Amino acid sequence: MNIRAISQGGDLRRLFLLLPAVAIFAGLFLMPLAFFVVISFWQKKSFAMLPAFVFDNYLRVVENYGDVLLFTLALALVTAMICLIWGFFFAYAVRFRAGRFGDALIVITLLTLFGGYLVKIYAWKSILGSEGIVNTGLIWLGLIDAPITFLIYSPVAVVIALANFLLPFVILPVYASLRNVREVTIEAARDLGAGPWTVIRAIVLPQIRPGLIAGFVFAFLMAAGDYVTPMFLGGTSGSMFGQFIAIEFSTRFNWPVGAAMSLSLLLSSLAVVGVVSWLIGRLRHVRGV
């Protein structure tokens, strides 16, 4: 096929070439979402769904699950922030301090993604449990007498395991952004009197805003939507919203409420992402003169 053939085909041909992408987008993303939006306004009678247009389901989300939703968003926010801070310093060290070991460190980061998600959860179970490495170690050292109970089956355990799993998803986009930060801009800032924190705050972070936002979005959305980690490690105090959505869909067979919950989580997550992205975007603003 030569260039002339393409241009002669004109608009029709171009639309035709777009078709697979449009089909995937519509069929796999838009349709299910639209379906969820529609049935979130339906009603459930015994084990059947009745088409309707009522807000009962959303009311139930607020009344029954409002606190869980807020808790889930807070937990995901904490997890994403830990990942962002930790991931930034790791990526920063890889970019500017590790020299020729930098590439190896990134490869190792990628390798941890092959470890599998459930494996990591079980690993944390054996590390944090009352018979786990941490507790037996601390007892052996004589620092504590009885196992620390809040280490497992608690929000702490969920945050630790999620942060561990999500860290690579933050490191990679942040590192990619950092590669575009020229070292001479850092030297110039130091030359003008900036200490290490000022260099990071005023010179490095503003230049990697897209990477920070991408990393945060990955970590936050995956954490907010997760229901396996809290199931295994959260106990009763660390239950997350996703677990209740799963129950509504499976055990209770209440799809309308499940759909309303899913959409509520989606919208509230987007709101958090929007606010945090805006805050990260404001990093650009330096003290004006």
CA distance 167 to 232: 20
Q: Which is nearer to other proteins, 156 or 176 (CB)?
A: 176
Binder among 202, 222, 246, 266 for other proteins (CB under 8 A): 202
In terms of Cα–Cα distance, which of 203, 210, 201 is closest to 172?
210
- Phi, psi angle pair for 49, to nearest 5°: -100, 135
Nearer to other proteins by Cβ, of 94 and 204: the residue is 204
The binder of other proteins chosen from 1, 63, 193, 267 (CB under 8 A): 193
Q: Residue 247 interacts with other proteins (CB under 8 A)? A: no
Among 54, 93, 192, 270, binds other proteins (CB under 8 A): 192
Q: Which of 136, 149, 198, 250 binds other proteins (CB under 8 A)?
A: 198
Residue 100 within binding range of other proteins, rule CB under 8 A:
no
Cβ neighbours of residue 171 closer than 8 Å, sequence gap 6 or more: 87, 90, 91, 106, 109, 215
3-class secondary-structure state, position 44: strand
To other proteins, the closest distance from the beta carbon of 203 in angstroms equals 6
CA angle 144, 147, 150 (to 5 degrees): 115
Exposure letters 220-243 (e unless 16+ CB within 10 A, then b): bbbbbbbbbbbbbbbbeebbbbbb
Q: How many residues bind other proteins (CB under 8 A)?
A: 22
H or E stretch including 175? helix 155-178
Residues 132-191 that bind other proteins (CB under 8 A): 182, 184-185, 187-191
Q: How far apart are CA 201 and CA 181, in angstroms?
A: 13
CB of 179 to other proteins, least distance (A): 14
Among 194, 200, 222, 266, binds other proteins (CB under 8 A): 194
50 DSSP β-pair partners: 43
Distance CA 238, CA 72 (A): 9
Q: Which of 72, 79, 109, 207 binds other proteins (CB under 8 A)?
A: 207
| Cβ closest to other proteins, residue 4 vs residue 287 | 287
Strand pairing category for 43-45 and 48-50: antiparallel
Q: How far is the CB of 169 from other proteins (least distance, A)?
A: 25
Q: Is there binding between residue 289 and other proteins (CB under 8 A)?
A: yes
| Residue at token pair 């937990």 | 75
- Of 208 and 261, nearer to other proteins (C-beta) is 208
Complex with other proteins: residue 125 or 209, whichever CB lies closer: 209
Dig out the tokens for 30 from the structure: 């838009």
Nearest CA among 61, 35, 34, 39 for reference residue 49:
39
Could you list the residues that contact other proteins (CB under 8 A)? 182, 184-185, 187-195, 198, 202-203, 206-207, 284, 286-289
